[in-house]
């Protein structure tokens, strides 16, 4: 039997996840035979992340079992940082499900999610992770609680934490939504600056979903700048890519910018 080091396998699976190749990432991770409990929990952690990420992107609900396996692996090889990661993945999953049914989410539930995000930010083992928690605090405030000023403060904190830690993903996430605030305020120049940088960062880390989502926003901005033909051209390419990657919400969003196209 061929044996290889675990680290490059995890790096490859993470790259596949960011590229929207979730089944391939899952297949790779499930082919691994961990050598000890520490390796087992590392594999389980990434397997759970892949499932949560895919569920959000493709509007699925498959992450419960991988999350439970991650939690079980942690009992056999306790790790404080990975324990934080598990709690964060559970928050991501809960937020993603709530976002799909936001009209049915109670104020009590949204407040509970907000408190979980704050707790995770305060207990984060590093600034990058704190930035991700701050970002989700912003998303919960923006989309579930409808507190835009609070959301802006959380997003600003996420951006600053991302910059200090050098975490390109959290910087990009924060800029995407700070750009939304600029766009809503009518500052198209600032919105473009935020969205273009966010797009570039997603491209640098090979994050297909994020890059396509950003291109959709740039199409919206191009339309608002008075160039509907250019907007439709961008949206058409996003729509094609989204169909190939099976990204339902991006298929729908990009279609609204293409004349005579509904999906």
What is the per-residue pLDDT for 234?
Answer: 98
The predicted pLDDT at position 260 comes to: 81
Whether 16 is in a domain gets the answer yes
Q: For residue 70, is it within any domain? A: yes
pLDDT digits (tens, 9 = 90+) for 212-225: 999 999 999 999 99
Q: Does a structural domain hold residue 83?
A: yes
CA torsion angle for 241, 242, 244, 245 (degrees, to 10)? 120
Does residue 28 form part of some domain? yes
DSSP H helical ranges for the chain: 6-18, 22-30, 37-58, 64-76, 80-100, 107-123, 127-139, 148-165, 168-184, 188-204, 208-224, 228-245, 248-255
Which structural domain range is residue 2 located in? Answer: 1-100
pLDDT for the residue 263: 65
Residue 217 CA to residue 73 CA, distance in Å, equals 40
- Residue 165, domain member (yes or no): no
Give the pair of three-digit tokens for residue 77. 């090889």
- Predicted confidence (pLDDT) per residue in 10-44, tens digit: 999 999 999 999 999 999 999 999 999 999 999 99
Please indicate, yes or no, if residue 45 is contained in any of the structural domains: yes
pLDDT of residue 153: 99
In a domain, 95, yes or no: yes
* Structural domains counted in the chain: 1
Instruction: Convert the pLDDT of each residue in 150-184 to its tens digit.
Output: 999 999 999 999 999 999 999 999 999 999 999 99
pLDDT one-digit tens code per residue, 109-149: 999 999 999 999 999 999 999 999 999 999 999 999 999 99
- Percent of the chain at pLDDT > 90 equals 97
**For the segment 236-257, what is each residue's pLDDT rounded down to a tens digit?**
999 999 999 999 999 999 999 9
In a domain, 55, yes or no: yes
């Amino acid at each position: 039997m061929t044996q290889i080091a675990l680290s490059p396998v995890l790096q490859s699976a993470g790259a596949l996840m960011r590229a929207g190749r979730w089944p391939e990432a899952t297949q790779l991770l499930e082919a691994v035979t961990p050598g000890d409990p520490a390796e087992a929990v590392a594999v389980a952690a990434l397997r759970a992340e892949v499932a949560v990420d895919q569920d959000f992107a493709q509007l699925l609900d498959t992450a419960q079992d991988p999350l439970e396996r991650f939690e079980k692996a942690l009992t056999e090889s306790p790790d404080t940082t990975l324990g934080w990661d598990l709690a964060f993945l559970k928050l991501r999953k809960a937020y993603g499900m709530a976002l799909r049914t936001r009209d049915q989410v109670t104020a009590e539930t949204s407040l509970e999610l907000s408190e979980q995000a704050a707790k995770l930010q305060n207990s984060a083992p590093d600034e990058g992770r704190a930035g991700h928690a701050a970002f989700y605090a912003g998303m919960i405030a923006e989309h579930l609680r409808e507190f835009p000023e609070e959301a802006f403060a959380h997003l600003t904190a996420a951006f600053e934490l991302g910059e200090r830690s050098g975490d390109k993903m959290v910087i990009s996430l924060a800029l995407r939504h700070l750009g939304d605030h600029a766009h809503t305020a009518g500052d198209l120049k600032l919105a473009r600056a935020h969205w273009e940088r966010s797009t570039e960062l997603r491209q640098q880390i090979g994050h297909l979903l994020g890059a396509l989502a950003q291109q959709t926003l740039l199409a919206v901005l191009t339309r608002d700048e008075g160039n509907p033909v250019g907007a439709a051209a961008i949206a058409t390419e996003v729509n094609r890519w989204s169909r190939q990657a099976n990204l339902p919400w991006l298929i729908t969003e990009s279609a609204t910018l293409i004349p005579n196209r509904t999906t």
